[in-house]
Structure 1
Amino acid sequence: MPLWVSALAATLLVQTVSSFASLAVPLLGPPLMARAGLPPEGIGVVSALTSAGICWCLACGGPMLGHYGPVRTLQIALACIALGLVALSQPVAALGLLGALAIGFGTGHNTPAGSQILIRAAPPRHRTLIFSIKQAGVPAGGALAGLVLAPLVMWLGLSATLWAVIGVTLLTILLVQPFRPRLDQDRGAGQAGWARALLSVAMLARSTRILGEHPTLPLLTALGASFSVLQSCLMAFTATYAVTRHGASLAEAGLIVAVMQGASMVGRIALGWLADRMGQALRHLVIQAFISALAVAMLVTLGGESRWALHGCAALVGITAIGWNGVHIAELARVAPLHLVGDVTSAASLFGFAGSICGPLVFTALVAWSGSYELAFLVMAAQLAAFGAAGLLMMRRFG
């Protein structure tokens, strides 16, 4: 098969399975916490450590990617996720927390390794579409986890369900092995100290410096972080907003989130195709920032008119405010020097993930201060529109 087909097949499979396996943790949070003797809210600590693992990977995992090559790195990442799930399956709280860190570290490799594979293989005229199809694996894995894990727990029990997820993760390591000879040809160049780099403070500083390799990288990084702030708030609070403000049942709130996720999967692919047709992905992202802010404003102002309006606004938000990621990563990979694609996408994703941690914290503080979810959502939408306006002004400087 053509090289780009092999590259897309391997990265999409790993992205989907990684998302499926990592999202098993919050979906199975209550029984996992009960088994470990922790209160249900303890899943927040697990989620925080998973986030810390992702940040650790993005900041310090670049040399590891250079040493092993992207496909082998993705295989190691899947092994880390499986190992983390094994730890979480044990009724020992401390072991479970280490497992959460391992899952985060494994999940963090998807963006830099996938970008390094696709930038070398994707035809330029379809590059953004191909990156967007790969990124559609995130909501696809999340939707799959939401559909199958709860029935599996009811049928097989918690332990068997976790081992089924572990089995799927390990099987994926074997399934991508045939792709390695074609896609890992540039591994091992000058990266012998990758293990030391995982504990190096200097790697954190390098993440900032490397974003100066192209004049548009700081703007792209800032836009990505702003989108991440809004996306994380939508994912964290939409269900609660539907229940508390619109009287939705938990099942209906779950359906609203599923609609938003499904729409984002379609949106990532459609927006990738559109960005390729427009030819200027940065301009596309700036326009999308304004449209996304408007979509969120519609969600909180029109969503209460009817259930159809609420579901429709959720779908529009999914397409726009959550469908940006593929276009963003493709443009990062395009403007980065070829030998630094993995490092640049890691550094930009690190800032984006920091935004996804800070966004819900600020949102929570706004709701506590004002008592209004609507105000908090509008503030988050406004910050994205502000970054879009700043991006529009900076684009004029770039010509």
Structure 2
Amino acid sequence: MPLWVSALVATLIVQTVSSFASLAVPLLGPPLMARAGLPPESIGLVSALTSAGICWCLACGGLMLGHHGPVRTLQIGLACMALGLLALSQPLGLLGLLGALAVGFGTGHNTPAGSQILIRAAPPRHRTLIFSIKQAGVPLGGALAGLVLAPLVLAQGLTVTLGVVIGIVLATILLVQPFRQRLDAERGEGQPGWARALLSPRALGRSVGTLRAHSSLPLLTALGASFSMVQACLMAFTATYAMTRHDASLTEAGLIVTAMQLASMIGRVVLGWLADRMGQALRHLAMQAVASALAVVLLVTIGGENAWALYGCAALVGFTAIGWNGVHMAELARVAPLSLVSDVTSAASLFGFVGSICGPLIFTLLVSWSGSYGLAFCLMAAQLAGFGLVSVAVLGRRTKPEARDSSASLASTDCGEGSTLNG
């Protein structure tokens, strides 16, 4: 098959399974927290630790990616997720919290490794669409989790359900092995310091420094962080919100999450196609931020009127507030110098996952203080709308967009910096 097809198939499979496994944790939040004797909103702590593990991977895992190659790195990430889920299958305590960290570390490899594979293989004319299809694996995995896990936990119990998820993750490691020889051809065997870099503060500084490579990257990064706060809260609390505020059963909550995830999957592909046709992806993202904020407000205002309204609002939120990531990843890869694509996407995603940590923690505090999930969701939506409006204002002052293919002139002028940052 063509190289870009191999690249898309491999990254989509891993993205879907990683999403399925990681989203099993918040979806099963109520029974997990009940077994630990904690209130339902405590799932926010587990989600925050998962995001912390992702941040750790994005900040310090660059040399690991360069040493092993992207496909092998994705396989290592899947193995970390399996170990983390095994820890979470035990009664929640310190071991379970460390398991959440391991799940996050394993998940974090998807963004830089997938971007490195696709930016070299995707035809430029369809790049945003291909990135968006790969990112559609996130809601596809979430939708499968919503459909499968709730009935399974009711029929077989929590421990068996987590065991099934672990088995699927381990099987995926073997499934993508045939792609490794073709897609890992440029791995750098001469980078022995990757293990030390996992605990190195200097690695964090190198990662963040790559965001100076293009003038659009700070704005893209800030907007992505704002989107991430909202998305993390939706992922962590939608099932609990439906169960505690609208008396939904675990199965009904799973179906609501499924509707949200399926709409997100459609949204990522449609919005990626539109971005390729219309251009100006950054302006497109800014307007989508405002629309996403309005959708979240609708979820907590009219979503509770009846079951159909709740499903419809969840789908609208999925299409807008969770459908942004493919366009964002493709635009980061497009403006980044080719030698720095994995580093730039890691650094920008790092700030995004800082938002993923802060969002659920702030949300948990707001619910504990006010007793209102609606207020917490609306405040998260307000900050996203604010970032969207600021982005529109900044873009309005630019007389000429800075469009550039990632393989063009800046790639050559930044080659010296790229080799330093990657070394």
> What is the TM-score when the length of structure 1 is the normalising length?
0.90
| 1:182-211 deviation per Cα after TM superposition (whole angstroms, max 9, x unaligned) | 211211075331111001011222232211
> Deviation of residue 143 (structure 1)?
2.0
Report what 1:387 is aligned to.
387
Hey, what's the Cα distance between the residues in 1 that align with 2:244 and 2:33? 25
Counterpart residue type for residue 170 of structure 1:
L
Which residue of structure 1 aligns with residue 12 of structure 2? 12
1:327 partnered with 2:342: no
Structure-2 residue corresponding to 1:266: 266
How many Å apart are 1:212 and its aligned residue?
A: 0.9
Q: Trace 1:80-91 onto structure 2 (pairs within 5 A).
A: 80-89=80-89
Counting only pairs closer than 5 Å after superposition, residues 1-399 of structure 1 correspond to structure 2 as: 1-28=1-28, 38-41=36-39, 45-89=45-89, 93-153=93-153, 155-156=155-156, 158-188=158-188, 191-242=191-242, 248=248, 251-395=251-395, 396-397=397-398, 399=400
Segment drifting more, 151-160 vs 17-26: 151-160
Given the superposition, is the C-alpha separation of residues 150 and 376 from structure 1 closer, same or farther in structure 2, using an over 3 Å criterion? closer
Measure, in 2, the Cα distance between the counterparts of 1:31 and 1:243.
Answer: 12
Shift of 1:154: 5.0
How much does 1:155 deviate? Answer: 5.0
Aligned residue identity for 2:123 = P
Whole-angstrom distance in 1 between the partners of 2:245 and 2:122: 45
Q: Is the 8 A contact 1:29 1:40 kept in 2?
A: no
Segment of structure 1 superposing worse, 71-80 or 46-55: 46-55
Q: Deviations over 1:137-157 (max 9, x none)?
A: 112112222322344445555
Q: 1:238/1:172 Cα in 2 relative to 1: closer, same or farther (>3 Å)?
A: closer
8 Å contact from structure 1 (residues 229, 355) kept in 2: yes
* Larger CA deviation: 375-384 vs 297-306: 297-306
Q: What is the letter of the counterpart of residue 143 of structure 1?
A: A
Corresponding residue of 2:403: none
CA distance in 1, matches of 2:378, 2:309: 18
Matching residue's letter, 2:322: I
Displacement of 1:219 in angstroms is 0.3
Deviates more, 1:258-267 or 1:93-102: 93-102
State the one-letter code of the partner of 2:272.
Answer: G
| Contact 1:232/1:360 (<8 A) preserved | yes
With 256-265 and 149-158 compared, the bigger mean Cα shift is at 149-158
Q: What is the Cα deviation at residue 214 of structure 1?
A: 0.6
Q: What residue number does 2:416 align with?
A: none
* Corresponding letter in the other structure for 1:82: A
Give the share of equivalent positions with the same residue, in percent. 78
Alpha-carbon spacing, 1:13–1:250, altered in 2? closer, same or farther (3 Å):
closer
Deviation at 1:21, TM superposition (A): 2.1
- Contact 2:23–2:235, Cα closer than 8 Å, also in 1: no
Task: For 1:307, give the aligned amino acid.
Answer: A
Partner SS state of residue 7, structure 1? helix
Query: Structure 2 counterpart of 1:292, which letter?
Result: S
Q: In the aligned structure 2, how far is the partner of 1:295 from the partner of 1:342?
A: 32
SS in 2 for 1:284: helix
Q: For 1:397, give the aligned amino acid.
A: R
Aligned residues of 1:367 and 1:373 also touching (Cα < 8 A)? yes
For residues 35-63 of structure 1, the C-alpha deviation after alignment (integer angstroms, 9 at most, x for no partner) is 8xx43457555444322211110110011
What are the Cα deviations for residues 4-25 of structure 1, in whole angstroms up to 9, with x where unaligned? Answer: 1100100010011112222333
Q: For structure 1, which segment, 332-341 or 77-86, has the greater mean C-alpha deviation from structure 2 after superposition?
A: 77-86
**Matched residue SS, 1:192:** coil
C-alpha contact (below 8 Å) 1:67/1:188 kept by paired residues: yes
| TM-score, length of structure 2 as denominator length | 0.85
Q: How many residues align?
A: 397
* Alpha-carbon distance in structure 1 between the residues aligned to 2:381 and 2:99: 34
Rounded to whole Å, the distance in 1 between the matches of 2:31 and 2:252 is 22
Residues 40 and 147 (structure 1), Cα distance of their counterparts in 2 relative to 1, 3 Å cut: farther
Assess, with a 3 A threshold, how the Cα gap between structure 1 residues 203 and 143 changes in structure 2: closer, same or farther.
same
| Residues 398 and 171 of structure 1: CA distance in aligned 2, closer, same or farther (over 3 Å) | farther
User: Structure 1: 5+ residue runs without aligned partners?
Assistant: none
Query: Which AA in structure 1 matches 2:398?
Result: R
Q: CA deviation at 1:267?
A: 0.7
Does the CA-based 8 Å contact 1:55-1:108 persist in structure 2?
yes
Deviation for aligned residue 1:167: 2.4
CA distance in 1, matches of 2:278, 2:319: 18
Question: Structure 1 residues 62, 254: closer, same or farther in 2, change over 3 A?
Answer: same
In 1, Cα distance between equivalents of 2:321 and 2:121: 28
Indicate the SS of the match to 1:397.
coil
Change (3 A) 1:249 1:367: same
Taking structure 1 as reference, are residues 356 and 179 closer, same or farther at Cα in structure 2, changes over 3 Å only?
same
- SS state of the match for residue 187, structure 2? coil
Over aligned residue pairs, what C-alpha RMSD do you find? 2.6
Contact 1:30 1:40 in 2 (8 A): no
Q: Report the CA distance shift for 1:45/1:292 in structure 2 as closer, same or farther (over 3 A).
A: closer
Partner of 1:350, secondary structure, is: helix
Deviation at 1:307, TM superposition (A): 3.5
| Secondary structure at 1:140 match in 2 | helix
Distance in 2 (CA, whole Å) between partners of 1:380 and 1:273 is 28
